[in-house]
């Protein structure tokens, strides 16, 4: 590295250490510091030989962390933006973790990428592969047009990049060009699995090749599933890594890997996290790790507690789940999964966002959320001002008014929760620190309810 790049790395490391002394993570500003000194820092800094990138609307942080954890267990050295800082400054910050000596550079870089930002720096980063979890409508202020996001991701893909794609996703499965090597993962329709054929968001109705109406052989949700154009033959690409069954009783994920059958320890029982797991597995298999190595490593993997956490408070099983804010698909999936859970269930939804810009954010996404699933939940408690449009959405979707409560103060949940009944309480939260503080406060109030 040049003297300028070395100094940029030194300044970034110093910035990170200073921020941590102040109790902050430093996932963004250290990268800003490096880029201030060397605007081509991402190109010039020492980088690992194996650069694995992960993007997608939902699941990219979980998949990134899962791959990082697997490499940790397998004894490989790596750098990663595990905390999800995925814009250009976050990538520069991650790369500044590399040592000054090229000989000591990590074997892998595991890079979560923002769908829109990646085109600005991939020509400098030079990834070996890109894993795409899925592609959905996201924030209405930024990523609501799937075709726009698809085209922006394509701008970040060069011909040398291997693509590891979701064959169930009728949109993202077709990223890249004929020149890209590719591998596919998928989940087959599971025994007894319900279809979701009436989601509000339908982004793949017509064949992209001939404009004829697509036939869905199995629609898992939105545009995920098995599809066929009976006019031109457009259909799911063949997958090399296939989930054939999910055994929740024995915590096993049954897969076919190039037609060979294996069972993986199940990281999480939700279909969404099973997609994340098979994506992580497929990615590392494409880098030469054996099925047996990965099976052993998965024994020690779990979804990070900030995204999925279960505790017992008296007779209450309290499950905290991330429900990505301003994202109608993620919120719909959360309510769908909870609605299918067994037993009495209460949802405490914390859509009161702490970011300064969000009070003025477009709220239309709430009306695109499939709140009809709340009809199969005993009680839904919304906290804060964003609860009002969400309750309106639920009412428009036919949910009984008696099931829907809005509280302006979290302590008011004490008026609606029976301290003695056995039930599961689901806390749905966003991913920022403010949401975590609300979650901690909610758990404290639940404990006070039970112990009163």
Count of C-beta atoms within a 10 Å radius of residue 89: 20
For the chain, report the end-to-end CA distance as a whole number of angstroms. Answer: 63
Its domain, for residue 107, covers: 46-299
d(CA 110, CA 54): 8
Residue 235 is predicted with a pLDDT of 97
Q: Is residue 332 part of a domain?
A: yes
Q: Is residue 395 part of a domain?
A: yes
Judged against a pLDDT cut of 70, whether residue 324 lies above it is answered with: yes
Q: Which residues of 128-142 are buried (b: 16+ CB within 10 A; e: fewer)?
A: bbbbbbbbbbbbbee
pTM: 0.91
d(CA 235, CA 245): 22
Output DSSP code: residue 377: S
Q: Among 245, 276, 299, give the residue marking a domain's end.
A: 299
Residue bearing tokens 């609501």:
144
d(CA 10, CA 79): 17
Residue 27 is predicted with a pLDDT of 63
Kindly state the percentage of the chain with pLDDT values over 90: 73
Q: Are residues 126 and 264 in the same domain?
A: yes
Q: Are residues 295 and 313 in the same domain?
A: no
What's the whole-number mean pLDDT along residues 292-318? 88
Residue bearing tokens 């009680």:
379
pLDDT band at 314 (very low <50, low <70, confident <90, very high): very high
Give the domain CATH number at 442: 3.90.190.20
Question: Are the C-beta atoms of residues 281 and 294 closer than 8 Å to each other?
Answer: yes
Q: Are residues 289 and 319 in the same domain?
A: no
Q: Could you please report the per-residue DSSP string of 170-212?
A: TTGGG-S-TTS-EEEEEEPPPTTPPP----S-----B-TTT-P
Q: Are residues 330 and 212 in the same domain?
A: no
Judged against a pLDDT cut of 90, whether residue 355 lies above it is answered with: no
d(CA 176, CA 53): 14
Average pLDDT, the chain: 91
Q: Is residue 171 part of a domain?
A: yes
Judged against a pLDDT cut of 60, whether residue 101 lies above it is answered with: no
Q: For the segment 371-412, what is each residue's pLDDT rounded down to a tens digit?
A: 999 999 999 999 988 899 999 999 999 999 999 999 999 999
């Amino acid at each position: 590295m040049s003297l300028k790049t070395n100094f940029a790395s030194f300044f970034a490391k110093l910035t990170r250490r200073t921020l941590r002394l102040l109790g902050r993570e430093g996932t963004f500003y250290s990268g800003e510091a490096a880029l201030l000194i060397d605007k081509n820092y991402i190109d010039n800094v020492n980088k690992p030989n194996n650069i694995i990138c992960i993007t997608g609307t939902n699941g990219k942080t979980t998949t990134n962390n899962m791959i990082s954890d697997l490499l940790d267990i397998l004894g490989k050295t790596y750098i990663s933006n595990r905390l999800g800082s995925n814009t250009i400054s976050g990538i520069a910050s991650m790369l500044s973790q590399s040592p000054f000596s090229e000989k000591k550079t990590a074997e892998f870089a595991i890079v979560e990428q923002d769908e829109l930002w990646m085109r600005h720096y991939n020509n400098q980063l030079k990834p070996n592969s890109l894993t795409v979890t899925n592609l959905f409508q996201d924030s209405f202020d930024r990523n609501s047009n799937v075709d726009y996001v698809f085209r922006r991701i394509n701008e970040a893909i060069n011909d040398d990049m291997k693509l590891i794609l979701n064959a169930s996703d009728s949109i993202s499965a077709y990223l890249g060009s004929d020149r890209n090597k590719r591998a596919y993962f998928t989940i087959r329709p599971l025994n007894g699995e319900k279809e979701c054929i009436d989601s509000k968001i339908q982004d793949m109705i017509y064949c992209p090749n001939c404009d004829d109406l697509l036939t869905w052989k199995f629609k898992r949700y939105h545009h995920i599933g098995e599809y066929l154009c009976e006019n031109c033959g457009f259909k799911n690409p063949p997958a090399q890594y296939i989930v054939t069954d999910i055994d929740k009783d024995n915590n096993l994920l049954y897969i076919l890997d190039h037609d060979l059958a294996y069972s993986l320890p199940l990281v999480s029982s939700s279909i969404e996290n099973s997609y994340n797991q098979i994506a992580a597995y497929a990615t590392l298999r494409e880098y030469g790790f054996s099925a047996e190595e990965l099976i052993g490593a998965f024994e020690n993997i779990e979804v990070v507690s900030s995204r999925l956490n279960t505790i017992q408070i008296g007779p209450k099983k309290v499950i905290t789940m991330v429900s990505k804010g301003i994202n109608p698909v993620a919120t719909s999936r959360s309510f769908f999964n909870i609605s299918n859970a067994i037993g009495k269930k209460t949802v405490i939804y914390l859509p009161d966002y702490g970011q300064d810009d969000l009070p003025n954010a477009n709220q239309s996404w709430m009306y695109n959320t499939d709140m009809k699933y709340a009809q199969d939940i005993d009680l839904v408690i919304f906290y804060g001002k964003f609860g009002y449009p969400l309750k309106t959405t639920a009412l428009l979707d036919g949910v009984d008014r008696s099931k829907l409560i809005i509280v302006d103060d979290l302590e008011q949940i004490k008026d609606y929760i029976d301290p003695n009944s056995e039930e599961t309480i689901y806390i749905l939260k966003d991913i920022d620190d403010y949401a975590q503080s609300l979650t901690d406060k909610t758990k404290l109030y639940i404990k006070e309810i039970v112990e009163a």
